Amino acid sequence: MNSRTKLGTLGLSVLTLSALVAGCGTAANTATNTTSNGTSGTQNASGTVDLSKASGTVVWAASPIAQTGIRKTLISEFEKTHPNIKVQLVELPNNTDTNRQSLATEIGGGATTPDVYMGDVIWPAQFGQNQLAVPLNKYLPSSFFNRFASGLVQGASYKGNVYGAPLFVDSGFLYYRKDLLQKAGLQPPQSWEQLMSDAQTLQKKGLVKYGFVWQGAPYEGLTCDFMEYLTDAGGQVLNSQGQPTIDSPQAQKAVSFMKSLITSGVSPKAEVTFQEAQSMNVFDQGNAAFLRNWDYAWSNSQNPADSKVVGKVGVEPLPTFGGPNGHATIGGWDLYVNPHTKNLNASLEFINWMTGVQAQTILATKYSEIPTNAAVQNDPQVKKVNPVLNIVSQVKLVSRPSQTPSYPQVSQAIYTNVNQALSGGTSVSAALKKAQQQIQSAVSGNGGL
Ligand code: GLC
């Protein structure tokens, strides 16, 4: 049985999938003992890669995911089942914008490593358009992609090619201090207006320093937060013709509310400099009643090494204007392969394992990530230990308009101008007008890359 046949059989059932993935590893190890090394991708007659030849080193560039130890745990489990493949970790910073720029520059310049890199779900258009990632569907059979939960493969595609193998899904959630709400006789808020007034109540009672922390710095994370308020208010960044509609009463409502969180003192003044790490830290230190953050914030807030609020945290879908059940931006990270890699076989085998049952179960149970592998996502044992998975079905997901290769400019126009409005450097309406013009210029092809 060649590996195309093996991979083609994957996804039939959880049992079959894990058994075959394990089988794949064994076959690869036997085969590679007799081959020199896996220095280049070997294509079989049908055009897919023969993973049984996989060996050698995979250089994997990745940011910390939920906690710094996680990447090493995954690598060591992978190496146990793949003794002929070594994975070398290149540690990337947390900030998605910094990662995008440095990877695009390196790979665009022809660098042969990293072989595999963790990249944001918003990158397929830009990276596909600029040949910065391998179209995985050219090398992996369509059955490989059946393991993923619905919609994820489409999200990782651009113009008919799949550029990323979904590694984990991120969704925005509302984290709250159960103990503080209980003391004040409050329920978790279902509307933004209620959150604001509950936060003020808790602050006035002297129970907590800040009401609500989120991501307000001028970077991609602010675009994510803004999308949630904008969609809750009934607005859009681009209409169905791809034209900007951000200079709207709905966006005015969204940004004005975000700004009022700061001017009212519910959110700290420093909010306009907060990325995920800063907001997480304020919450973990016990200094905020509410936090907007991604799935991993659950495991982070329950880790005694980082958090003073272990056992005191609850998680709910984000509120909306008028409530209940607000929108949550869909984020997450994929695994991409460098088109200049010298080790395509081992890179693909690494991706195969990372999106398989074992790795996905580790991500979901230890680090409260939403797994991309549908079988793991639906596993009752996994749900038992990951409270985020139990409420994710109530969340209304909203995507960023990242299907255009000029999305980096679109997002930059959003976060720069919204941040200006939040810090009081400009009025909300002037900020939205400017964002509208800049997005117009980006989508008409004047934005560059
Ligand atoms: C998270 C999300 C990613 C998003 C980023 C913004 O990492 O997974 O999609 O772009 O946050 O900071």
Atom of ligand 1 nearest to the CA of 219: 12
Per-residue pLDDT of 1-22, as tens digits, reads 333 323 332 222 222 222 222 2
Give me the pLDDT at residue 285, please.
98
Query: Which residue's CA lies nearest to atom 5 of ligand 1?
Result: 221
Q: Ligand 1 center to residue 18 CA distance, Å?
A: 29
Instruction: Give the SS3 label for residue 140.
Output: coil
Give me the pLDDT at residue 77, please.
97
Give me the pLDDT at residue 9, please.
28
6-168+332-389 and 171-329+398-443: same fold? yes
- Where residue 293 falls (left for φ over 0; alpha for ψ -120 to 50; beta otherwise) is beta
CATH number for the 171-329+398-443 domain, one of 2.60.40.1580, 3.40.190.10, 3.40.50.2300, 3.40.50.300?
Answer: 3.40.190.10
Give me the pLDDT at residue 427, please.
98
The structural domains of the chain, with segments of one domain joined by +, span 6-168+332-389, 171-329+398-443
Q: Which helix (H) or strand (E) holds 102?
A: helix 96-108
Q: Ligand 1 center to residue 223 CA distance, Å?
A: 10
Give me the pLDDT at residue 446, please.
56
- Where residue 325 falls (left for φ over 0; alpha for ψ -120 to 50; beta otherwise) is left
DSSP state of 42: P
Is any ligand 1 atom within 6 A of the Cβ of residue 332?
yes
Give me the pLDDT at residue 281, please.
97
Query: Which residue's CA lies nearest to atom 3 of ligand 1?
Result: 331
Residues of the chain with pLDDT under 50: 1-42, 44-46, 448-449
Is any ligand 1 atom within 6 A of the Cβ of residue 216?
no
Give me the pLDDT at residue 403, please.
92
- Predicted TM-score (pTM) of the model is 0.89
CATH architecture, domain 6-168+332-389: 3-Layer(aba) Sandwich (3.40)
Give me the pLDDT at residue 53, please.
74
Q: Ligand 1 center to residue 423 CA distance, Å?
A: 22
Question: Token digits for 269?
Answer: 């003044």
DSSP state of 396: E
Per-residue pLDDT of 272-301, as tens digits, reads 999 999 999 999 999 999 999 999 999 999
Is any ligand 1 atom within 6 A of the Cβ of residue 218?
no
Per-residue pLDDT of 101-131, as tens digits, reads 999 999 999 999 999 999 999 999 999 999 9
CB 307 within 8 A of CB 300: yes
Query: Which residue's CA lies nearest to atom 7 of ligand 1?
Result: 332
